[in-house]
């Protein structure tokens, strides 16, 4: 709750939960305006609200995005009442924090989208599998009847292409269903080494690829899958960084282990950060990106009961942190 005096909109009083929500002390707020204390991430939203109030329109259940003292985003619902305080008017506003509800809503939507995609890819995979099986049967019988080694070898190539289509379909389906993981005791340093070996094609002038791995870091993970995750993260970092360093580190954190990929690249704007883990989201040209790398990484990490987090600042760089329990606890 807050009480603002008109006409200059300064805070006359705020209650404890207002201070807690926005991380201020009373002294920092009283006598100042909401603009002074940096409450508005979008000052035009403030103008809209003020216009309504000045026109005498009721403000009820208005959704706003505000900022705490430390810069955290808070989604809130606001209602404002005009009061007479002696000769002056004042606005009494009540703010309800719906940040967590919003996050939940977003996650539910994401899950729904994945589920819908799962149904679609399941259907497509099923329908395409029948003609694929026919292709391989026809190729096999044709190969048996032919004496011409050239034809036999081409039929084998047709079959290889068919297997490729099959595995693409499987990958797609694996994105929406958590992939089955086969955890074995693994020293994560071998995963780091294995991933770095695969980085050869992405190394380029001006970028240094560093490894930070000291003593053994052991956890029960699916080594093949986790290596694919690390390959995806490191590849992204190398692709993003035209000049600077990419560091891959492995850490023992007690009950968990962490794989950290840090780059000094361009960082990401908020609209990219928001969509990062969505399947098919990419900012890269067609030949370079499918937008599946991070979606895949997330589903593998989730299947281990771990988390994948990103910190990014424009012009500074990006850090992806994968935290895995030493003993997997699938969701
Ligand atoms: N280290 C990074 N620095 C900057 N942008 C990144 C980084 N990692 C990922 N991204 C952004 O996230 C998008 C999605 O990544 P990803 O899922 O791996 O798909 P893809 O690499 O095929 O585009 C990329 O297109 C890029 O815009
Ligand atoms: Mg990628």
pLDDT value at residue 257: 97
Q: Is the pLDDT of residue 167 over 80?
A: no
Strands 73-85 and 88-97: antiparallel
Distance from C-alpha of 246 to C-alpha of 230, rounded to nearest angstrom: 13
Average pLDDT over residues 303-327: 95
Q: Ligand 1 pocket test: which of 202, 209, 259, 282 has the largest number of ligand atoms within 8 Å of its C-beta?
A: 282
Q: Where are the alpha helices (DSSP H) in 177-317?
A: 188-197, 223-240, 270-275, 293-303
The confidence score (pLDDT) of residue 246 equals: 98
Residue 115 has pLDDT above 80, yes or no: no
Q: From the CA of 282, how far away is ligand 1's center (Å)?
A: 6
In a domain, 194, yes or no: yes
Nearest-CA residue for ligand 1 atom 18 is 293
104: pLDDT confidence band, cut at 50, 70 and 90? confident
Among the three residues 176, 210, 233, which one is the final residue of a domain in this structure? 176
Rounded average pLDDT over 15-34? 93
Question: Could you give the C-alpha distances from 31 to 3, 91, 263, in angstroms and in order?
Answer: 11, 14, 44
* Domain housing 275: 184-325
Is 150 a domain residue? yes
- pLDDT at 42 (0 to 100): 85
CATH number of the domain encompassing residue 109: 1.10.287.130
* Burial (0-12, 13-18, 19+ Cβ within 10 Å), 117: middle
The alpha carbon of 233 and the centre of ligand 2 are apart by a number of angstroms equal to 7
Tell me, yes or no, whether 159 and 238 share the same domain. Answer: no
Give the per-residue pLDDT at 191: 96
- Over range 282-289, report the average pLDDT: 82
With a 6 Å cutoff on the Cβ, whether 263 touches ligand 1 is yes
289-310 tens-digit pLDDT:
778 889 889 989 998 999 999 9
User: Which of 117-131, 168-182, 249-263 ranks highest by mean pLDDT?
Assistant: 249-263
Q: Which band of pLDDT confidence, cut at 50, 70 and 90, is reported for residue 176?
A: low
Residues 191 and 317 in one domain: yes
- Domain assignment present for 212: yes
> Predicted confidence band at 248 (pLDDT cuts at 50, 70, 90)?
very high
Q: Is the CB of 283 under 6 A from ligand 1?
A: yes
Indicate whether 331 belongs to any domain. Answer: no
Domain final position from 64, 97, 130: 97
Residues 273 and 148 in one domain: no
Q: Which two tokens stand for residue 278?
A: 């969505």
- Are 170 and 194 in the same domain? no
Question: Do 80 and 119 sit in the same domain of this protein?
Answer: no
Please indicate, yes or no, if residue 116 is contained in any of the structural domains: yes
Nearest CA owner, ligand 1 atom 24: 282
- Decide: 268 and 146 in contact? Cβ < 8 Å: no
Is residue 184 pLDDT above 90, yes or no? yes
Q: Does the beta carbon of 282 lie inside 6 Å of ligand 1?
A: yes
Q: Does ligand 1 lie within 6 Å of residue 294's CB atom?
A: yes
Last residue of a domain, one of 151, 176, 201: 176
Is 330 among the domain residues? no
Q: Is 124 part of any domain?
A: yes
CATH code at 61?
A: 3.30.450.20
Confidence (pLDDT) at 226: 94
* pLDDT of 190 above 90: yes
| Structural tokens at position 246 | 């990419």
Specify whether the CB–CB gap between 11 and 30 falls below 8 A. Answer: yes
Average pLDDT over all residues of the chain: 89
Residue 170 has pLDDT above 80, yes or no: no
Same domain? 190 vs 320: yes
- Residue 244 near residue 317, CB atoms below 8 Å: yes
pLDDT at position 103 is 81
317 and 199 within one domain:
yes
| DSSP H or E segment with residue 108 | helix 99-145
According to DSSP, the residues that pair with 40 across neighbouring strands are 66
Query: What pLDDT is attached to residue 58?
Result: 83
Closest listed ligand to the CA of 266: 1
Q: Is the pLDDT of residue 331 over 80?
A: no
> Do 69 and 196 fall within a single domain?
no
Question: What's the total number of domains in the chain?
Answer: 3
| Interval 44-69 mean pLDDT | 89
What is the rounded average pLDDT of the residues 164-193? 81
CA of 293 to the centre of ligand 2 (A): 4
The residue among 40 and 321 whose pLDDT is bigger is: 321
Three-state DSSP class for 112?
helix
Looking at the CA of residue 291, tell me the nearest atom of ligand 1: 19
**Measured distance CA(153)–CA(266) in Å, rounded:** 48
Ligand nearest to the CA of 238: 1
Q: Does 172 lie in the same domain as 192? A: no
pLDDT-based confidence at residue 177 (cuts at 50, 70, 90): low
Query: What pLDDT, on a 0 to 100 scale, did the predictor assign at position 178?
Result: 60
Going by their DSSP bridges, the two strands 207-212 and 218-221 should be labelled as: unpaired
Ligand 1 pocket, 244 CB below 6 A?
no
Neighbours of 311 (CB within 10 A): 13
CATH number at residue 302: 3.30.565.10
Q: Which of 236, 262, 272 to mutate to test the pocket of ligand 1 (most atoms within 8 A of CB)?
A: 236
Long-range CB pairs of 265-269, under 8 A, 24+ apart, other chains included: 265/237, 265/240, 265/241, 265/317, 265/318, 266/240, 266/241, 266/314, 266/315, 266/317, 267/312, 267/313, 267/314, 267/315, 267/316, 267/317, 267/318, 268/310, 268/312, 268/314, 268/318, 269/314
Task: Let me know if 227 is exposed, middle or buried by CB neighbors in 10 A (0-12, 13-18, 19+).
Answer: buried
CB 188 near ligand 1, within 6 Å: no
Q: Is residue 22 scored above 90 in pLDDT?
A: yes
Specify whether 6 is located in the same domain as 46. yes
């Amino acid at each position: 709750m807050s009480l603002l005096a008109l006409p200059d909109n300064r805070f006359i009083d705020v209650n404890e939960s207002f201070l807690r929500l926005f991380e201020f002390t009373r002294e920092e707020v009283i006598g100042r305006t909401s603009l002074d204390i940096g409450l508005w991430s979008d000052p035009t939203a403030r103008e809209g609200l003020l216009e309504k109030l000045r026109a005498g329109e009721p403000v009820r259940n208005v959704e706003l995005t505000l900022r705490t003292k430390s810069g955290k985003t808070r989604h809130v619902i606001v209602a404002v009442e005009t009061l007479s305080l002696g000769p002056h008017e004042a606005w009494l506003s009540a703010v309800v924090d719906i940040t967590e509800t919003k996050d939940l809503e977003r996650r539910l939507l994401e899950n729904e989208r994945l589920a819908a995609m799962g149904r679609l890819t399941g259907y497509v995979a099923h329908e395409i599998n029948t003609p694929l099986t026919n292709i391989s049967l026809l190729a096999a019988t044709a190969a048996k009847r032919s004496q011409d080694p050239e034809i036999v070898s081409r039929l084998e190539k047709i079959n290889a292409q068919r297997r490729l289509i099959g595995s693409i379909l499987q990958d797609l389906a694996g994105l929406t269903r958590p992939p089955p993981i086969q955890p074995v005791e693994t020293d994560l340093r071998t995963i780091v080494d294995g991933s770095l070996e695969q980085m050869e094609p992405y190394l380029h002038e001006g970028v240094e690829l560093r490894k930070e791995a000291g003593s053994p870091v052991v956890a029960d993970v699916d080594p093949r899958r986790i290596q694919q995750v690390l390959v995806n993260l490191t590849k992204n970092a190398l692709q993003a960084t035209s000049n600077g360093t990419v560091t891959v580190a492995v850490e023992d954190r007690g009950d968990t282990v962490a794989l950290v990929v840090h780059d000094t690249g361009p960082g990401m704007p908020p609209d990219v950060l928001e969509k990062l883990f969505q399947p098919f989201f990419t900012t890269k040209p067609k030949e370079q990106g499918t937008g599946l790398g991070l979606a895949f990484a997330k589903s593998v990490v989730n299947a281990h009961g771990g988390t994948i987090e990103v910190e990014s600042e424009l012009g500074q760089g990006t850090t992806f942190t994968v935290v895995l329990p030493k003993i997997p606890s699938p969701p």
